[in-house]
């Protein structure tokens, strides 16, 4: 194992982390579709409740684990909580109110996502707490703090942080924020899918993702790489989402009968990189040249 771990040098942690977060975005769509139409038809809300419980347990278990384990459990738990408790709460409300899908672009906007737009006020109101938190390690928030000259006080020690909980909340809020952003620009009463703002957003997301990836490229440890990859891969995924809205890409995630091979390959790749992340070394591995003199 020690011989295997020596390969965990940059850019391997970055590649593994981006693949995990990026492909999970698509697999989340697949799981949600299958829950509604194949696995639990008629009982998807109850299934979502228990999946959310599983996500909560993962975050709880990760509270006192090593940094690697806590980061993975936090991302996994936060992803399941978003997929189940949050997304299916919008599904439930959409059904109760009999909300119809909207023809925004080539890919219809499902009723639950139209309902999700109603959460925009709650999202920004609760983000105020995180924005003014002096202990935040969010690069975007810290950048704004510096440029707005906000003095929030000295940060406390990072040793006592609950990494799993922080990563879970980061996963939920980053996902939530960009859903709201995309739904807002897709809405024809605001901009619309063919508006220049949508085109500019697609370019912005692509450039932004490339910038973040080149920074992530040099990360040496898995846990920090995965935490940085959460916003990086989700921003990159937004390009995919917009291209689907324009009809340039097919949404393979909700068509398992047509794209069984592709989905199988993605699943295998996702499982492989998760295993690699689990067995990754907790500390940076320094490869020394044994032929050099001490």
**Greatest pairwise CA separation for the chain in angstroms:** 75
The mean pLDDT value for 130-148 works out to 81
pLDDT at 3: 56
Model confidence at 294, in pLDDT bands (50, 70, 90)? very low
Q: Tell me what the mean pLDDT of segment 48-69 comes to.
A: 95
Given a cut of 90, whether residue 115 has pLDDT beyond it is: yes
Angle between helices 163-186 and 120-131 (to 10 degrees): 140
| pLDDT one-digit tens code per residue, 198-227 | 999 999 999 999 999 999 999 999 999 999
| pLDDT band (50, 70, 90) for residue 140 | confident
Q: Of the candidates 222, 253, 204, which has an alpha carbon nearest to the alpha carbon of residue 19?
A: 222
pLDDT score at 287? 47
User: By C-alpha distance, which of 289, 168, 140, 156 is closest to 227?
Assistant: 168
Distance, C-alpha 175 to centroid of its chain: 5
pLDDT of residue 291: 42
> Average pLDDT of 158-177?
88
Tokens of 202: 């697609």
- % pLDDT > 90, the chain: 76
pLDDT of 284 above 90: no
pLDDT at 158 over 70: no
- Residue 266 pLDDT more than 70? yes
CB 276 within 8 A of CB 20: no
DSSP string, 167-222: HHHHHHHHHHHHHHHHHHHH-TTTS-TTSHHHHHHHHHHHHHHHHHHHHHTT--SH
Per-residue pLDDT band for 261 (boundaries 50, 70, 90) equals very high
What is the 8-class DSSP label of residue 66? -
Residue 78 has pLDDT above 70, yes or no: yes
pLDDT of residue 150: 83
Could you tell me if 90 and 175 are in contact, meaning their C-beta atoms sit under 8 angstroms apart? no
Q: Residue 292: what pLDDT?
A: 39
The confidence score (pLDDT) of residue 2 equals 55
The string of pLDDT tens digits covering residues 168-194 is 999 999 999 999 999 999 999 999 999
Q: How far apart are CA 24 and CA 16, in angstroms?
A: 12
Q: With a cut of 60, say whether residue 49 has pLDDT above it.
A: yes
Within 10 A of 268 (CB to CB), how many other CB atoms are there? 10
**Better-scored residue on pLDDT, 20 or 139:** 20
Strand partners, 123: none
Neighbours of 181 (CB within 10 A): 14
- Average of per-residue pLDDT across 257-276: 94
Confidence at residue 239, expressed as pLDDT on a 0 to 100 scale: 98
Average pLDDT over all residues of the chain: 90
Question: How many residues would you count in the chain?
Answer: 294
Residue 162 has what pLDDT?
A: 87
């Amino acid at each position: 194992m020690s011989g295997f771990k020596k390969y965990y040098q940059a850019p391997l942690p970055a590649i593994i982390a981006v693949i995990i977060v990026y492909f999970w975005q698509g697999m989340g769509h697949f799981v949600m579709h299958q829950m509604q139409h194949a696995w639990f038809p008629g009982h998807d809300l109850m299934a979502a409740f228990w999946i959310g419980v599983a996500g909560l347990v993962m975050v709880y278990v990760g509270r006192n684990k090593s940094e690697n384990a806590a980061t993975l459990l936090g991302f996994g738990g936060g992803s399941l909580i978003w997929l189940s408790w949050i997304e299916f709460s919008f599904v439930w409300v959409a059904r109760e109110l009999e909300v119809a899908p909207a023809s925004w672009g080539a890919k219809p906007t499902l009723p639950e996502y139209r309902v999700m737009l109603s959460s925009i006020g709650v999202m920004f109101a609760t983000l105020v707490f995180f924005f003014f938190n002096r202990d935040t390690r969010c690069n975007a928030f810290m950048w704004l703090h510096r440029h707005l000259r906000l003095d929030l006080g000295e940060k406390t020690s990072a040793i006592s942080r609950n990494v799993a909980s922080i990563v879970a909340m980061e996963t939920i809020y980053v996902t939530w924020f960009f859903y709201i952003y995309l739904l807002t620009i897709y809405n024809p009463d605001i901009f619309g899918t063919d508006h220049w703002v949508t085109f500019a957003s697609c370019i912005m997301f692509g450039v932004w993702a490339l910038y973040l990836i080149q920074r992530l490229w040099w990360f040496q440890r898995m846990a920090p790489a995965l935490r940085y990859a959460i916003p990086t891969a989700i921003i990159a995924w937004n390009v995919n989402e917009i291209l689907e809205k324009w009809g340039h890409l097919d949404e393979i995630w909700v068509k398992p009968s047509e794209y069984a091979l592709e989905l199988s390959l993605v699943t295998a790749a996702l499982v492989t990189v998760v295993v690699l992340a689990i067995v990754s070394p907790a500390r940076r591995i320094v490869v020394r040249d044994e032929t050099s003199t001490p």
